[in-house]
Amino acid sequence: MTTSKTILVTGPTGYIGGRLIPRLLARGYKVRALARHPEDLEGRSWSGSVEIFKGDVFLGQGLKEALSGADAAYYLIHSMADAVDFESFEETSAKNFAAAASEAGVKKIIYLGGLGGEAAGLSHHLHSRHLMGQIMRSAGLNVTEFRAAVIVGSGSISFEIIRYLVERLPLIPSFPHLCDTHCQPVAIRDVLAYLSAALDNPLSDGKVIEIGGSGVYTYRELMNIYAQSRGLRRSFFSFPLWSPELSARLVGLLTPVPAVLAKPLLESLSNDVVCSSDEALKIFPDIKPLDYRTAVQYALMRVSGHDVETSWTTAYRPRYAKRSSFIDTEGLILQDHYMTLDASAEKVFRVFTGIGGERGWFYAQWLWDLKALQDRFIGGVGMRRGRRNPEVICQGEALDFWRVERVIEGRMLLLRAEMKLPGKGWLQFEAQPLSGNSAVLRLTSYFEPRGFFGNIYWYLLYPVHTYIFRGLMREIRRRALEL
């Protein structure tokens, strides 16, 4: 299929936008992307085929350039992580976008909002989702607004909350909202099918279209079905005390989803989010929505096959100013460290690709040696293998008790652990160029725990890893500045 239409996607670093763009490209559209941090799109398989604009919808920056000449645009933005008062952020963003799209003469806007009846007591999150659609319609735009409840897919924030709670709690607290309110979840593949099909379907013009899967469930039933799909025995107990704040803190402790994102989602548990009409099936008869159990099975296949296309964590990436983060997501534990330094990315790359072997590991060598001794004691390889060449590193060769899994010249080195661990581990070094003669050094450790002990192992070692990695970053900076 080929077409001359130009389509703008906002929120390309997000869960939905990152999956929608390659599907639009496959359908032959010319695609543009508007992002606050365009550098976050580097490395995507489709980034070279997309015209990328830097901009900020809340500040109204970059909209005129990105929307100029666009035939249609997707609005896939939310601001839950940007401020406690996210509603005012979202309202301002929608007004800026609507004014710019109207001025540019964009023929169609496709927006993904949230389900929920227009009744009193609608949660702040759902009320804001509805308001943004109203703002864009009131600007005289041709808006197709899809409304969905829980989106089921690997990496979806709602699905990840369910997944981690069921995986980690053999006894799950059952709040009244879990028993009394109903939800009509929809598979991510169906959401993407609706979003892409709406571009060339005039029957969707100006409509608010509710989309959902083929079943309606309570939230307790959603967790129970997930448990059955994983072969887990889970029980529920009544817990009458419930508040969004308390539940958000619990979710923040037990899952990778921070409380600031969990709270507005959990507030929505008090609202039934069920389709009130079958208009979606009439307008898009070729789309046959999956049931929840099947959608869960597809999501689990993606997770177990390490084939998660996008995740909610991409858009929630910590800023460099935070220096470090600890994220538990997609079955992987990530420990991330950042540092800006006044040396070129090429010099930084030369330093970290020279690590190991006779040069050692730059910092706290005694701890690396202790780990090697422990590994040899339990039958591992220790550090006996060294490295082939102190200056040249190639993909596939051994490096002490690591294997070089990937090298991107001047940019990145990924090592896979071959020591004995209760799981699988990787260590990644990145040099990201900045303007002038400076760069960001990023050091990320990944761990895929095996069983309960695997999780405990990595959490117990977190302080040690933090000490080693911060010192290692400082030493890489020192050596890069001396080159």
Cβ–Cβ under 8 Å, residues 5 and 30:
yes
Is 301 in the same domain as 390? no
User: Do the domain assignments include residue 133?
Assistant: yes
Domain co-membership, 330 together with 274: no
The CATH number given to whatever domain includes residue 422 is 3.30.530.20
Backbone region of residue 334 per phi and psi (left: phi > 0; alpha: psi in -120 to 50; beta: other values):
beta
What is the crossing angle of helices 124-138 and 86-104, to 10°? 20
Q: CATH number of the domain that 309 lies in? A: 3.40.50.720
On the CB side of 121, CA atoms within 13 Å amount to 5
| Of 243 and 182, the one with more pLDDT | 182
Q: Residues 325, 308: one domain? A: no
Taking the mean position of all CA atoms in its chain, how far away is CA 14? 6
Number of domains in the chain: 2
The residue among 314, 334, 369 that closes a domain is 314
Q: pLDDT confidence of 92, banded at 50, 70, 90?
A: confident
Last residue of a domain, one of 314, 339, 369: 314
291 with 335, same domain: the answer is no
Sign of CA dihedral 354, 469, 330, 8: negative
Residue at 1 is within a domain = no
What pTM was computed for the model? 0.67
In the prediction, which pLDDT does 331 show? 61
CB 325 within 8 A of CB 336: yes
Structure confidence by residue, pLDDT tens digits, 283-323: 999 999 999 999 999 999 988 877 778 776 665 543 333 45
Q: 248 in a domain, yes or no?
A: yes
More confident residue, 470 or 172: 470
Supply the DSSP symbol for 127: H
Are 209 and 67 part of one and the same domain? yes
- Domain presence at residue 294: yes
pLDDT (average), residues 326-343: 74
Nearest to 72 by CA among 126, 129, 24: 24
**CA-based nearest residue to 403, from 385, 391, 389:** 385
Look at residues 287, 314, 341 and tell me which one is the last residue of a structural domain.
314
53 and 73 housed in the same domain: yes
Range of the domain at 462: 318-482
210 and 132, same structural domain? yes
The answer on 334 and 253 residing in a single domain is no
Does residue 398 or residue 359 have the better pLDDT? Answer: 359
Query: Are residue 292 and residue 438 in the same domain, yes or no?
Result: no
Sign of the dihedral defined by the CA atoms of residues 301, 311, 457, 404, in that order: positive
> Is the same domain home to 104 and 230?
yes
pLDDT digits (tens, 9 = 90+) for 243-273: 767 777 777 767 767 666 677 677 767 778 8
Contact 253, 332 (CB under 8 A): no
